[in-house]
């Protein structure tokens, strides 16, 4: 958590504006009195606005508050993972169908797929045919899904790479 909240005896102000756990304002009172009210309810007094005059404190369960802040911080992210799948230059059509089903399951789950083909020896001289084979496989995927394809291959590398994401 980036913002550190002071609680209970860590609060330095003499007078604080107190808000109940239900959101009702209890008014401005001395810190000792506010701490006493919080302890009576078995809760914490947490400083939520330290720059206000007087500082605003809320009576709440600090552990629950901290948990909700963490949840809020990480809850908005959508998790997509990169799944890598390799195809060889001489992969048979049946094996391509198997790999196609795997790619489809990854895309259905919302993952990004990196398709790569490692070119060995003489296969590197046939780079054009290898790229055609990769494009053929991508076309097979396009029959079932609306996808976006990025070519991440470099001329100097002996590897062809395509990143595939669902639109």
Residue 76: band (very low, low, confident or very high) from pLDDT cuts 50, 70, 90:
low
Residue 95: band (very low, low, confident or very high) from pLDDT cuts 50, 70, 90:
very high
Q: Do the Cβ atoms of 161 and 152 come closer than 8 Å?
A: yes
Q: Report residue 146 as tokens.
A: 């609306």
Place of tokens 């330095």: 12
Per-residue pLDDT tens digits for 112-135: 999 998 888 888 888 888 888 888
Average pLDDT over the chain reads: 84
Q: How far apart are CA 115 and CA 163, in angstroms?
A: 6
Give mean pLDDT, residues 106-112: 88
Fold of 82-166: Translation Initiation Factor IF3 (3.30.110)
Whether the model clears a pTM of 0.75, i.e. scores above it, the answer is no
DSSP state of 55: P
| Cis preceding-peptide flag for 54 (omega within 30 of 0) | yes
Per-residue pLDDT tens digits for 7-62: 787 888 888 888 888 888 888 888 888 888 888 888 888 888 878 888 888 888 88
Which pLDDT belongs to residue 2? Answer: 43
Fold of 8-75: Ubiquitin-like (UB roll) (3.10.20)
CA distances from 17 to 45, 51, 103, 105 (A): 11, 12, 58, 55
Domain spans in the chain, listed from the N-terminal domain onward:
8-75, 82-166
Place of tokens 């720059």: 51
Q: How far apart are CA 121 and CA 88, in angstroms?
A: 13
Q: How far apart are CA 158 and CA 136, in angstroms?
A: 19
Alpha-helix residue ranges (DSSP H) falling in the chain: 31-40, 62-75, 93-108, 127-142
Q: What percent of the chain has pLDDT over 90?
A: 8
pLDDT score of 167 more than 90: no
């Amino acid at each position: 958590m980036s913002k550190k909240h002071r609680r209970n005896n860590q609060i330095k102000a003499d007078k604080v504006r107190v808000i109940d756990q239900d959101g009702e304002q209890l008014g401005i009172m001395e810190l000792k009195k506010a701490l006493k009210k919080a302890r009576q309810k078995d809760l914490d007094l947490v400083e939520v606005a330290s720059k206000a005059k007087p500082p605003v404190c809320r009576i709440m369960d600090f552990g629950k508050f901290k948990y909700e802040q963490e949840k809020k911080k990480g809850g908005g992210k959508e998790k997509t993972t990169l799944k890598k799948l390799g195809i060889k230059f001489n992969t048979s059509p049946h094996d391509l169908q198997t790999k196609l089903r795997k790619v489809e399951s990854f895309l259905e789950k919302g993952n990004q797929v990196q398709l790569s083909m490692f070119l060995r020896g003489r296969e590197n001289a046939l780079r054009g045919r290898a790229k055609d084979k990769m494009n053929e496989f991508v076309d097979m995927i396009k029959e079932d899904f609306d996808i976006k394809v990025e070519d991440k291959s470099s001329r100097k590398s002996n590897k062809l790479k395509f990143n595939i994401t669902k639109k």
